[in-house]
Structure 1
Amino acid sequence: MTATSDRGVVPVHGSLAVYPGTFDPFTPGHRDLVARARVMFDRVIVLLAVNPDKRPTAEATARAARVRDAISAAWGNVEVDTWTGLTTAYCVRRGATVIVRGVRRAADLRQEYQLAAMNEKLGVQTVWLPTRPQLAATSSTVARAYRSAQSGPSIPEL
């Protein structure tokens, strides 16, 4: 199945892109990046990275299920997978030639540039997509803090 947008964007034929992240949680900004990437590439894998150095709020299988639930069933060219290890190793294993990364601000780009240079040396290109301005303020960190505040003890009234 080939995805097309209402603007007539046709994906690069035979392309497979990987969009990695811990997705803890999967935010509207993440979903927007998947929506945009799926019209640029024939297939997109949302890769839930399992990083033992991070302490996610849920196990990988639960987070992957949440990501699957957030993705439209009509997006037949998008799949969700999990992986422990280097994203480039996953890309080589699956035959993906592109890693998709979102960038919210200039500081993100500086860090992403270093990762992209390493990925390129390993044979995988990186494509950066800027976050839409209306979604840039919501990071996974902010979403976790908000969720924690909502489920935490109530604040006594003064």
Structure 2
Amino acid sequence: MTTRTGVYPGTFDPVTLGHMDIIRRGAKLVDRLVIGVTTNPSKSPMFNIDERMAMVQREVAGIGGEIHVVSFDSLLMDFAEREGARVIIRGLRAVADFEYEYQMAGMNQQINPRVETVFLMADVSLQPIASRLVKEIALYGGPIDRFVTPAVAADMAARVKVIGRKGS
């Protein structure tokens, strides 16, 4: 029997409840889910790659199923091929996400037509959550407990303590 492998890529800086929703649901669609933690040159991360990988590993520990957390710094389609994936899982929050993701899916299909992109709509209660906004709220001392797990909130509070709060 062939193992169906899917890849869920992202920067996960930090991993949010929205990410966790997509991970839980995506894990039901494949036999093996690889969460690809990557760098993004256009983003300035709050946590380094090792910290983000450890954070994601901790958060997915209780989900069940075959879930692997790995880092990558390559084209997504090369990473998917290396992992033996035939599915890329992407979460959508809003129309703006769809336009960007639709374009990326088209480009990725041109690069490797053997890999399909599957879009999962974020749970309605989680749709506004974006890592970028969670970081901004945390940096200004706002409450983030509705957007991340308690452990991630503690990680962020510790980091803000080190780098300094804005607006104080």
Q: Which moved more, 1:135-144 or 1:44-53?
A: 44-53
Residue 132 of structure 1 aligns to which amino acid in structure 2? D
Q: Give the one of 61, 68, 91 matched to 1:79.
A: 68
Q: Give the one of 130, 139, 148 matched to 2:139.
A: 148
Q: Which residue does the alignment assign to 1:126? A: 117
Structure having the higher strand fraction is 1
Normalising by structure 2, we get a TM-score of 0.80
Q: Which residue does the alignment assign to 1:19? A: 8
- Structure 1 residues 154 and 108, CA, compared in 2 at 3 Å: closer, same or farther? closer
Q: Which residue does the alignment assign to 2:156? A: none
Q: Which residue does the alignment assign to 2:152? A: none
1:56-107 deviations in Å (ceiling 9; x for gaps) = 1111001100011111335241110000011110011111011000000111
Q: Which residue does the alignment assign to 1:91? A: 80
Runs of 4+ deviating beyond 3 Å: none
Equivalent pairs counted in the alignment come to 144
For 1:97 and 1:71, the matched residues in 2 are separated by 22
Q: Shift of the alpha carbon at 1:140?
A: 0.5
Gaps of 5+ in 1: 1-12
For 1:132 and 1:103, the matched residues in 2 are separated by 9
Q: Shift of the alpha carbon at 1:153?
A: 5.7
Q: Which residue does the alignment assign to 2:28? A: 39
Q: Which moved more, 1:69-78 or 1:23-32?
A: 69-78
Residues 99 and 126, structure 1, Cα contact 8 Å, conserved in 2: yes
Residue 22 of structure 1 aligns to which amino acid in structure 2? T
Residue 146 of structure 1 aligns to which amino acid in structure 2? I
Residues 39 and 49, structure 2, Cα contact 8 Å, conserved in 1: yes
Q: Shift of the alpha carbon at 1:40?
A: 0.8
Structure having the higher helix fraction is 2
Mapped pair 1:105 → 2:94: yes
- Structure 1 residues 153 and 56, CA, compared in 2 at 3 Å: closer, same or farther? closer
